Amino acid sequence: MLVIVAPGQGAQSPGFLEPWLEDPVFASRLHWLSAVAGLDLAHYGTKADADTIRDTAIAQPLLVASSLLAALAVFPHPADAFTKMGAAAGHSVGEIAAAAGTGVITAEQAMVLVRERGKAMAEAAAQTATSMTAVLGGDRDEVLAKIAEHGLTAANDNGPGQIVAAGTVEELAAFAADPPAKARLVPLSVAGAFHTKHMEPAVRTLSDYSAAISTHDPRSRLISNRDGQIVHDGQEVLRRLVQQVNAPVRWDLCMQTMADLQVTGILEMPPAGTLTGIAKRALKGVETFALKTPDQLDDARAFVDKHGSPSEIDASPTWRLLVAPMKGTFSRVAQTQRESGDTVEAGEVVAIVKSLRDELEVRAPHGGIVVEWLVEEGDPVSPGQPLVRLHPSVGS
């Protein structure tokens, strides 16, 4: 199985788009996304220095645009992606690119959303002097306890041996003077405490903008930063994109879902390297491909062909599917036991998926009429596996 991932803020480097802009098609598409974002992304991706592209309001649109356009370069016919991509995920702001790549929102909606996200987060960061520090190594429980002791937030949990602490510069200074045992601290060159309570003003701003965005359900599995769950309701994806601004990124749980899916290959969009580097440490035996320059495109397509398989999720608009949010055991809700021909109300719980860690309800976000159950009571299910097919009822 192939998973395509998009990196988050901090992955950018000066001039990383220069070789890509030698392709006139890429350059034309970037010019269009620049117009949507109101930023000269070609300049920022080729000529601007590290300090300039560190600015949150610039870095975030630049990252989302580069991931989206590189994906189009890999899949010149965009629909071909759904015959190869088993799942998609994005780290922090990269999740906006993943949402667009799976068809939840358009590229233009993604660029407007990320433009306002970057501006709002930059404004929130300017209210208090905050930053982030990577904690490498150490005992996980001790690291988390020490982060909490100093009033910080574990803003990114990137898997074994890499947690990012975030908070005020004073809190981070105290943390540096009293670090966890056997851990190495690396201050990050970022302009704020992202994914913490300090970003709450940005959440309020984005909530207003998101009310105007129409969505579609993902055409492939979309792995959520919040908890590693598969989300197959477009409006829920959008809600999570907004809420994620001040909530921790659980990339460790995203990788656990990839493992549950039995992923064999991970392709990272440019500026690539960060997420494939993490995967090499955490997902032993999984092949990775960091797409950095256009001269790698033929090899990237060969990598896609090697690991790709069609999405199990039916893209037909005639039907609605409810899918498993995680790996576990399926059971139907005893109180209702909806059968073929029965009506399911919007918001109704129709099934439960149980794992050793969690028990999650599967709700029908839109309602409809049960056409067929696709799994049996007690069946093991994988993340994103279709459970039941619904036909939309009138008005749903």
What is the model's pLDDT at position 316?
53
Q: 112 with 66, same domain?
A: yes
What CATH number does the domain containing 331 carry?
2.40.50.100
What is the model's pLDDT at position 312?
75
Tokens of 317: 């608009």
Q: 350 with 272, same domain?
A: no
Q: Of 245, 274, 307, which marks where a domain is finished?
A: 307
Q: 258 with 280, same domain?
A: yes
Assigned domain for 312 exists: no
Q: 97 with 202, same domain?
A: yes
What sign results for the dihedral spanned by CA atoms 21, 24, 26, 32?
Answer: positive
What CATH number does the domain containing 235 carry?
3.40.366.10
For residues 37 and 111, the answer to whether their CB atoms sit within 8 Å is yes
Active-site residue flag, 396? no
Q: Of 254, 284, 307, which marks where a domain is finished?
A: 307
| Tens of pLDDT, residues 324-379 | 999 999 999 876 678 889 999 999 999 999 998 889 999 998 889 999 999 999 99
Total of domains in the chain: 3
Assigned domain for 214 exists: yes
Assigned domain for 182 exists: yes
Sequence-distant (≥ 6) Cβ neighbours of residue 105 within 8 angstroms: 96, 99, 113, 213, 215, 216, 234, 238
What is the model's pLDDT at position 188?
87
Residue 372, SS3 per DSSP:
strand
Q: Of 163, 187, 211, which marks where a domain is finished?
A: 187
What is the model's pLDDT at position 168?
96
Which of the following is catalytic: 66, 67, 92, 382? 92
Assigned domain for 313 exists: no
What is the model's pLDDT at position 333?
83
Low-confidence ranges of the chain (pLDDT < 70): 314-318, 335-336, 394-396
Domain that holds residue 140: 125-187
pTM for this predicted structure: 0.93
Q: 165 with 271, same domain?
A: no
H or E stretch including 249? strand 249-250
Tokens of 106: 């358009």
Tokens of 92: 């922090």
Q: 148 with 267, same domain?
A: no
Assigned domain for 75 exists: yes
Q: 172 with 232, same domain?
A: no
40-61: burial string, b at 16+ Cβ within 10 Å, e else: bbbebbbebeeeebbebbbbbb
For residues 381 and 353, the answer to whether their CB atoms sit within 8 Å is yes
Assigned domain for 25 exists: yes
What is the model's pLDDT at position 78?
82
Q: 6 with 91, same domain?
A: yes
Tokens of 157: 């949990």
Q: 366 with 345, same domain?
A: yes
Q: 219 with 294, same domain?
A: yes
Which of the following is catalytic: 195, 198, 232, 307? 195
What CATH number does the domain containing 134 carry?
3.30.70.250
Considering only CA atoms, which of 248, 325, 311, 251 is closest in space to residue 283?
Answer: 251
Active-site residue flag, 92? yes
Assigned domain for 396 exists: no
| Tens of pLDDT, residues 115-156 | 999 999 999 999 999 999 999 999 999 999 999 999 999 999
Assigned domain for 15 exists: yes
Q: 363 with 235, same domain?
A: no
Q: 217 with 95, same domain?
A: yes
What is the model's pLDDT at position 311?
78
